[in-house]
């Protein structure tokens, strides 16, 4: 299911889709394990300035421990995990959310027995 409507009046677009219809990008490298990302909504869909991404971390998976000069907002959809943020480890579960400020060391890891699935919203220019 992927429906996109353009020019609904006033220059607004609308999109209704399902995560299963979006291409998954797998992250590779020594500092990441079992991590994938899907760009769900972006400026090409009419949301100027931001990108909403869906991350999945497999059991025992993790994102790289890193910093960058932009913030992001996260919402945990399912699973259990841990956010390492600025020297502290914070347990996460379905319904948890976090604001990760610019230039703070951070990493997400899956500590549960199922996939950890979370939304990550970033400024458009920082989506890669």
Q: What is the pLDDT of residues 28-65, one digit of tens each?
A: 998 999 999 999 998 888 788 999 999 999 999 999 99
Tens digits of residue pLDDT in 75-118: 999 999 999 999 999 999 999 999 999 999 999 999 999 999 99
Question: Is the overall model pTM greater than 0.85, yes or no?
Answer: yes
Residue 12 lies in a domain: no
In 3D space, the residue among 91, 84, 90 whose CA is nearest the CA of residue 65 turns out to be 84
Residue 14 lies in a domain: no
As for how many domains the chain has, the answer is 1
Residue 10 lies in a domain: no
Residue 8 lies in a domain: no
Residue 119 lies in a domain: yes
**Where in the sequence is the domain holding 103, given as residue range(s)?**
23-126
């Amino acid at each position: 299911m992927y429906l996109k409507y353009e020019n609904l009046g006033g220059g607004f677009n609308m999109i209704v889709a399902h995560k299963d219809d979006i291409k998954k990008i797998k992250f590779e490298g020594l500092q990441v394990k079992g991590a994938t990302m899907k760009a769900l909504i972006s400026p090409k869909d009419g949301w100027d300035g931001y990108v909403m991404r869906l991350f999945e971390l497999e059991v025992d998976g993790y994102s790289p421990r890193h910093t960058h000069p932009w913030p992001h907002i996260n919402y945990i959809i399912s699973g259990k995990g841990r956010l390492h943020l600025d020297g502290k480890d914070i347990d996460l579960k379905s319904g948890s959310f976090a604001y990760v400020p610019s230039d703070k060391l951070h990493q997400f890891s899956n500590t549960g027995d199922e996939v950890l699935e979370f939304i990550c919203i970033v400024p458009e220019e920082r989506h890669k």
